[in-house]
Structure 1
Amino acid sequence: MALTSLKERVRAAASTASTEDIRHDRGEDVEETPAGHDQAASGVDWIGLYRAEVEAALPKHISADLFFAALRPTLPKLRNCTPASVLQAVITCARFGLIPDGTQAVITADDRIATFIATYHGYIDLMYRSGLVKSVVTGLVYEGDDWNWEPTAPAPLDFTHRPDVLASKKDRGVPLFAYAFAWLEGGVRSAVAVVTHEDAEETRDEYSRAYQRAEQTGAKNSFWHTHFDDMHLKTAVRRMAKLVPKSAELRALVAVEQAAEDGKPQILAAIDPETAALEADARQAAKAAEASQDRPVPRLAVKGGRSRAKPRRRNRDRNKR
C-alpha cells in the first residue's frame, strides 16, 4: 500500500485525538476513548479494531498474527497511556517491521505517552534488510578480557577482542567499553565504533529525556536505568550506523526515536520515511555546524600521557586465574 494511503488511514484512525494529544503535550487532559472504541471491550483489546491499519503498515514478510501475539502482553502495561499514542506507537513499530517482543523493539509508557523504541537488535536487523551490510559484530569489553585497539592499523588487525567466556562475571570485572563494526558487500569492513562507559553516561545524561524525567520523578524506570548494558550497546551500534551506507528506512528510524525524545509524534516520521530522513540529515548538519563554532581549540597531546576517555590495551601476558 502506498505511503500516502497509509498516511490517510492513520490520520483517520486517530481522528478523534485532539491536536494537543497528537502533539504529545504531557500532563494535559486528553480524550481517553479512540474512534470506534466499544465500551464493552475488555481492557485495551480495542487495538484489535485497528488491525487493518496495522496490517497495512507491516512489510509483506512480517506476519500480522506474529506481530499481534508479541504485542498483546505489552498492552496492559500501556493502560494509563493516551489511546492515540498507543495506536501511533503500534503503527510506528509495524511500519519498520520490528516485532515488539523486547528483542527487536519495545513499546513502553513514558509519562502517559506510549513510545516505540528499537533495540540494538532492531537496528542491526534493518541494516541487514538494506542489503548493504552483510554482518554486524558488537559486544562489551570487560576488565578481564584480552583486547587490542589500534585505529591506525589496517582492518581487521586494528581491533581484536578475546573474551574469557569461561570466567565468572566477577572475574571479568566491569564493562570498559562497547564496540560495533560491520562487514559490507564485497568484503569491506567498516571502522570500529567505540563507546566508553563514560561516553554512554554522557549520551544518556545529555540526550535521553526519558532518563531525565525518570530521575526527576524518582521512578528510575527508563531503559537507561533498567537495561544500561543494552543501551550502551545500542549507542555503539547507532554510532557505527553513521559509518556504513544507510537506507532511508534506517535514517528514518533515527528520526523517529529523536521525535520521541523531543516529545513529538513518532508516527509522522514513520509514515513518511524519506522526508524524515532528509530532516534528520538536516538537523545533524545544523548541529555539526553549531558544534564547529563552539568547539574549543584542542589541546596538544602530552608525550607519554593517556586519554581518560579512550580504552587502553590490556596486558596479554597477565597471570591467568
Structure 2
Amino acid sequence: MADGLSRLAPAKINLFLHITGRRSPGSDQGGYHELESLVVFAQAPHACDRISVAPAEALSLRIDGPQAGDLSDGDDNLVLRAAHLLQPMNLKTGHERGAALTLSKNLPVASGIGGGSADAASALHCLRALWGIEIDDDTLGRAALKLGADVPVCLFGRAAMMSGIGETLQPMPALPAFWLVLANPGVALATKDVFAALNGQLGPPQPFERRPASAADLAILLRARRNDLEAPARFLAPEIDPVLAALKAQAGCMLARLSGSGTTCFGLFATEREADFAARNLARAYPKWWVAATAAG
C-alpha cells in the first residue's frame, strides 16, 4: 500500500483529567463538559490500532484484530463517521470518491484510552492523503470536534494540554522520558454513564506551573492533580480497583491512576526495564487482562 495510507492510531492517556465546568444549554456546545487534561500517546505499536485505506467506488469498513469482537462496522463506527465528515470535501470523480478502510483493532473498546477517537483521527489523516484534500490541520481539527471531544487531540498526536471541551490544545514542552504500563480488566464502560455518575460535581483547574525535570518529578506533579472521573468510574466498575492495586504493587511504580472515563489504568515508571518487568508480571498473574508497556509522548 502507498506510503501515508496506513497509519497507527495510538492509545491516548490522560495523565490527569479535571472536569472544570459545563457549557450553558443555550450555547453551540450546550451540555458539554469543560475539562483540563494532560494527554500523552503510546509509542509502542502493540499499544496502537492501525487504519489502512485504499481507493474504492464506495465507502466500506472492515475490522480485524484481537479486540475486534462485536465492534460495529456500520455508520455508527467513528471511522466511517470520520469518512463521511471528510467525503464532501473530496472533489475527485468516479471510484476515487470512495475508500475501503480497514481497522486493525488492538486496543480494548470503551476503555478510556481514546481508541475510537484515535481511529477516527488516523482515518482523517489517511483519507486526506488518499483523496488529495487540501485542508490544514487546524481546520481539520475544528471539524473533527463534531466526532467527539478527544478527536482533535488525537489528530494532533503528541503530548498536549487539552482544555475547553477538547478544542483548545497547547503543545507541551518536551517531557522527560518515562514509561507506562497500561492494564484493562476487560470491562467496557460508556463515557456517558460515567459523566452521569459524576452528578455535576466539578473541580478547579490546576495546570502545570513548571516543566517536570524527570520521571520522578512528573510523578510528584501528577500526584498533586487528579482524574475527576475516577471515583464515578470505580463506582460503576469495581473491577477497576484490583487493577489499580496490582499496578501500585509493582516495583518501580511511582503512580497508578485511571485514564479517561473507561476502565484502563496506567502505572508510571522511570525506566523501560521496570515497565517491561511489571507488564510481564501482570500478564502472568492476570491472563484475562489486556496489558501493555509503552513509552509515551
TM-score (norm 1): 0.25
Specify which structure has the bigger relative contact order, considering alpha-carbon pairs within 8 angstroms and separated by 6 or more residues.
2
Query: Higher Cα Rg: structure 1 or 2?
Result: 1
Q: Which has the higher helix share?
A: 1
TM-score (norm 2): 0.27
Q: Which has the higher strand share?
A: 2
